[in-house]
Amino acid sequence: MEFSALEIASFLEGKIEGNPEVKVETLSKIEEGKAGSISFLANLKYENYLYSTGASIVIVSNGFVPKKEVTPTLIYVDDAYRSFTRLLNHANHLRSKRKGIEENSFINESAKVGKDVYVANFAYIDRDSEIGNDVMIFSNVHVGQNVKIGEGSIIHSGVRLYPDTVIGKNCIIHANTVIGADGFGFTPKEDGSFEKVPQIGNVIIGDNVEIGSSCTIDRATLGSTVIRSGVKLDNQIQIAHNVEISENTVIASQTGIAGSTKIGRNCIIGGQVGIIGHLKIGDFVQIQAQSGVNSNLADGAKVYGSPAMNAADFRKSYVYFRNFPEIVRKLEELEKEIKQTIKE
């Protein structure tokens, strides 16, 4: 699809300097720009490419003044990087947008399907489910009974949504993720075996949530496992029953969160973090990769290690960890000298 500088500037609420009628059909890095492409300049160390790029349009931040004459049409915006990201998302949405129900899909007659929905071949939508407007459901997706998917959400191939799951608006769920499977609930019996505890709750996911591929989010034992609006989850994350994750928290790959833990808003959690159950993690907490968290964390805490401790203290301690064998050797030598002195 082609777009003029005028159309792009209108979308980004920017100001044009140059030819408003020039058109582009693709996006590019500024150093690789060719005619018919649009790029951006956010980091001034790339400024020299602006004077040699073949891109037809370049997005720049307000206040930028070129040192030389430029060939591309410039679009001035508040933040060039954010505006280009917004443009990328818009272009990606237009490119991937599909409509229609493919013939080898199955939709139960009791399900409610909104306008401009796409359901691919071999997708299955069970009874009493509700699919909002502009939702896209790709092949081999299973939507269980009484599932609700909000407007504009995208469900990629192989996703499994167990019964009673609720997905908000404009969510993206990537391939092979499972949402709403039973939580890991078993009670020991006198003979040493385990009896399953029924998991009769559900999973509720807010708006604008993105969940990576091959994640598992378990349904609650009672009540709901809750992922609130704006949360971003990387690939291969395990979230156990009755966990709650508040707004705009981001979690990197291979993290595991045990049951009933509550995580605050705007937290940043690194990869391969383990968090035990029934904890309260405050707002704006940062947990570095491979940390093991076994106690509550206050708002704004920054922790590292296993068991996790204050990140600054951990880094100081790590100097001693590395030199620990040498420290022990010196202590042993000192002990010998003291004993020898006492004998004398």
Q: What is the CATH number of the domain that holds 84?
A: 3.40.1390.10
In tens digits, the chain (344 residues) has pLDDT values of 789 999 999 999 999 999 999 999 999 999 999 999 999 999 999 999 999 999 999 999 999 999 999 999 999 999 999 999 999 988 888 888 899 999 999 999 999 999 999 999 999 999 999 999 999 999 999 999 999 999 999 999 999 999 999 999 999 999 999 999 999 999 999 999 999 999 999 999 999 999 999 999 999 999 999 999 999 999 999 999 999 999 999 999 999 999 999 999 999 999 999 999 999 999 999 999 999 999 999 999 999 988 887 888 888 887 777 788 888 888 888 888 888 887 76
Active site positions, annotated: 241
Q: What is the pLDDT of residue 294?
A: 95
**146 and 263 within one domain:** yes
**258 and 148 within one domain:** yes
Assess contact for 42 and 64: CB atoms under 8 A: no
Determine whether 331 is exposed, middle or buried from the number of CB atoms within 10 Å of its CB (0-12, 13-18, 19+). exposed
**308 and 204 within one domain:** yes
> Which residue range is the domain that position 71 belongs to?
3-96
Q: What is the pLDDT of residue 344?
A: 67
- The reply to whether 264 falls in a domain is yes
Tokens in use for 181? 């499977």
Q: What is the pLDDT of residue 329?
A: 87
**121 and 231 within one domain:** yes
**167 and 87 within one domain:** no
- The reply to whether 277 falls in a domain is yes
Which residues, 6 or more positions from 154, have their beta carbon under 8 angstroms from its beta carbon?
96, 135, 136, 138, 171, 172, 173
Read off the amino acid at residue 32: E
**What is the tally of structural domains in the chain?**
2
**155 and 53 within one domain:** no
CATH number at 278 reads: 2.160.10.10
Cα–Cα–Cα angle for 309, 211, 247, nearest 5°? 60
* CA 9 to the chain's CA centroid: 29
Tokens in use for 209? 């949530």
Read off the amino acid at residue 342: I
Compute CA distances 3 → 57, 62, 94, whole Å: 11, 22, 12
- The reply to whether 74 falls in a domain is yes
- The reply to whether 62 falls in a domain is yes
**Residues paired with residue 275 on neighbouring β-strands, in sequence order:** 257, 293
Q: Which of 81, 96, 111 is the last residue of a domain?
A: 96
